[in-house]
Amino acid sequence: QPLSGDHARGECALVALGAALRASGLTSAEAAYADVLWRWTALQLALAQAESAGYDPLEPRARLSSSECELLRFGARKLCGCASSLRHSELAFSAAHAAALEATCAAVGAVTAPPKEAALELLGEGKGAAVRGMCRFDLFGRALRGRSVDHLAGESALPPVVLPVELSLVPDCVSSYEDVCNALRHAVHLCELLANQQGYIPNTYCLRVSLLQHLLTAVIPLPLPCSHPQRASRCFWAASPMRYETQADLLRLLNLACRHFAACCFSIRVTRSFDAVRLVVVATIATLADAVMRIRCADVPSLLCLNYSGEAEGPGDAFHFELGSFAVESEDLQLASPELHCARTRVLDYFAAQRPHHRPSRVLFGFERSMEFGA
């Protein structure tokens, strides 16, 4: 039984022929001889079909396929093997049949042989210049130098316009509110450039996270606690007055920076050290936003900020929000830099000093206890 199955039922017909010959009284040697003759006849029929189909070894469209050539060669090898096995049997293969079989195998070799080398003259090279083996490659004619091929090239793709990302625009230190606004604005613009050009600049998520981490933990100072004795003189956010447009600009830039940082955090594989960066940086953004919201502007105070800080006219205390379980969850964080340690400590000190001065009914975003907005 063939390994690929007997779909054409040829093997079945051969076995049935042998069984019928043995049943009719022929010996095993005579049945084997008949098997060789049957295979020989089938091979001759295949050769006749190839010749009737107009086979031409020099014409690519009239050649046999590689699978058909391999099938003919395999049939010839199998036929020769069966014929050679008869030399030790009682009924040897006759000399006339051997000569005719050799001629058939030679015909199979001629049909399945690769095409002969042909000499073709190159265009533009003059007489006598020829290339051997030209018809072995169907597409070799494209290499002839006889016509212009510039029109086949098409239009070249326009190179992308990649804007430079100058990370050095973000300063290493700030000394005024304007410097903080400029540093945050540069950082937001750089994050936008990296986000829009992430197809041309590698590792944009890591660059944005590192930029915002450096800015919020090492460049912009965090506020001192409200109970600090020298807060009015030593705290960056209480030592000088602030204008209304500066306050609004700071809150808008902190919002944009937080959005960029959140988008990058959900796009990077989380490790233990990066988990610490995520928690501490978001806590610093919340601390800075709370400190800016509690500042009373020198020119036109914001009504929202006055109500939030409890300085508005009329009854009502200040609002505040809590960090929840940040203190407990951050105890075992893998903080990889001193700036992260300092930022975590200052965030905890800032909110711990506010806790005794606020009532529980004025807590905002207390979703740990209930899903209500607040007071």
Over range 353-371, report the average pLDDT. 76
Close Cβ partners of 7 (under 8 Å, ≥ 6 residues apart): none
The model's confidence at residue 141, banded by pLDDT at 50, 70 and 90, is low
Average per-residue pLDDT for the chain: 83
Q: Which pair of tokens denotes residue 94?
A: 């006759």
> How far is it, in rounded angstroms, from Cα 237 to Cα 221?
9
Per DSSP, the three-state class of 186 is helix
Chain center to CA of 363: 45
> How far is it between the farthest Cα atoms of the chain?
127
pLDDT at 258: 96
pLDDT at 123: 47
The lowest-confidence range among 21-30, 196-205, 257-266 is 21-30
Chain center to CA of 194: 19
The model's confidence at residue 354, banded by pLDDT at 50, 70 and 90, is confident
29-68: pLDDT as tens digits: 888 888 888 888 888 888 888 777 655 555 554 567 777 7
pLDDT at 59: 54
Task: Specify whether the CB–CB gap between 268 and 205 falls below 8 A.
Answer: yes
Task: Specify whether the CB–CB gap between 225 and 235 falls below 8 A.
Answer: no
From residue 246, alpha-carbon distances to 93, 177, 293 in Å are: 109, 7, 12
Which contacts (CB < 8 Å, 24+ apart) does range 356-361 have?
357/226, 357/318, 358/317, 358/318, 358/319, 358/320, 359/317
Q: Which pair of tokens denotes residue 274?
A: 């990066």
pLDDT at 222: 95
167-206: pLDDT as tens digits: 999 999 999 999 999 999 999 999 999 999 999 999 999 9
Q: What is the DSSP letter of 115?
A: P
Element (H, E) at 99: helix 95-112
